[in-house]
A and B are shown apart, each in its own frame.
Chain A
Amino acid sequence: SQKIEQNSEALNIQEGKTATLTCNYTNYSPAYLQWYRQDPGRGPVFLLLIRENEKEKRKERLKVTFDTTLKQSLFHITASQPADSATYLCAPLDDSWGKLQFGAGTQVVVTP
């Protein structure tokens, strides 16, 4: 069955450092992969989408990589800030553009 794995332990990081989150998937051949941010008591918010033929995508302080051989995506927050504290969810996506299937998410806590 399809499985999406993200670090279950919270990532505690000092302000200014780079946070790196991992998303591994099995029994998937996604054409795209999305990353979302979710704050407590709120719905997920779309951050970035990367295509299978893109190795890397950047948006401001965020960087995503997508390795279809390793079946893995890495999500980096550079120069992290306390406002970056949230749970980050990955969602591999095939071509159907219907439902999203999410990993459990990784909580990031950035301390001053």
Chain B
Amino acid sequence: DTGVSQNPRHKITKRGQNVTFRCDPISEHNRLYWYRQTLGQGPEFLTYFQNEAQLEKSRLLSDRFSAERPKGSFSTLEIQRTEQGDSAMYLCASSLGREGILTKNIQYFGAGTRLSVL
């Protein structure tokens, strides 16, 4: 399967603990996106990378959240001092990211990591 891969699929943690999620995009995709989705809502944008550069961060991304994409390949999303309100599905997506070419900018999503903070 050469789609977007996310690990782990599920994470249960206690409030105050740190958690880290990993996303492996489709190879050759330059852009990588993180979204958060809660029950009954559509995905909400968190941040995105063009290669290794983090180009935009949502104001939803508090100081407790940090994302990296070293070497422009896989990405990690870390949440420090988790709170119950962080419980959600965290989705990663990737796209080729070609300026001006519509079909190259379609985003392909992974299955997500479901976080439960107790």
Partners in one complex: yes
Interface residues of A, Cβ cutoff 8 Å to B: 4, 32, 34, 41-46, 49, 51, 89, 91, 97-105
Residues on the A chain within 8 Å of B40, using CB: 104
A42–B92 Cα gap in the complex (Å)? 11
CB distance from A7 to the nearest CB of B (A): 13
Contact A43-B33, Cβ < 8 Å, known A89-B42, A98-B56, A99-B45: no
Interface residues of B, Cβ cutoff 8 Å to A: 4, 33, 35, 40-45, 48, 55-56, 58, 91, 93, 97, 99, 102, 105-112, 114
CB distance from B46 to the nearest CB of A (A): 9
> Which of B45, B97, B111 is in CB contact (< 8 Å) with A41?
B111
Could you tell me if B112 and A42 are in contact, using CB atoms closer than 8 angstroms?
Answer: yes
Could you tell me if A99 and B48 are in contact, using CB atoms closer than 8 angstroms?
Answer: yes
> Which of B58, B102, B111 is in CB contact (< 8 Å) with A42?
B111
Residues on the A chain within 8 Å of B108, using CB: 46
Residues on the A chain within 8 Å of B42, using CB: 4, 89, 91, 102-105
Could you tell me if B106 and A49 are in contact, using CB atoms closer than 8 angstroms?
Answer: yes
Query: Given A42-B112, A100-B107, 10 more contacts at CB 8 Å?
Result: A4-B42, A34-B106, A41-B111, A41-B112, A41-B114, A43-B93, A43-B109, A104-B40, A104-B41, A105-B42
> Which of B48, B91, B106 is in CB contact (< 8 Å) with A98?
B48
Residues on the A chain within 8 Å of B55, using CB: 98
CB distance from B106 to the nearest CB of A (A): 5
A45–B56 Cα gap in the complex (Å)? 23
> Which of B91, B106, B111 is in CB contact (< 8 Å) with A46?
B106
Residues on the B chain within 8 Å of A100, using CB: 33, 35, 43, 45, 93, 107
Could you tell me if B109 and A44 are in contact, using CB atoms closer than 8 angstroms?
Answer: yes
Most interface-central of A46, A51, A91 (chain B CB within 10 A): A46
Residues on the A chain within 8 Å of B45, using CB: 99-101
CB distance from B3 to the nearest CB of A (A): 9
A60–B5 Cα gap in the complex (Å)? 28
CB distance from A81 to the nearest CB of B (A): 23
Closest residue to B92 on the A side, CB-wise? A43
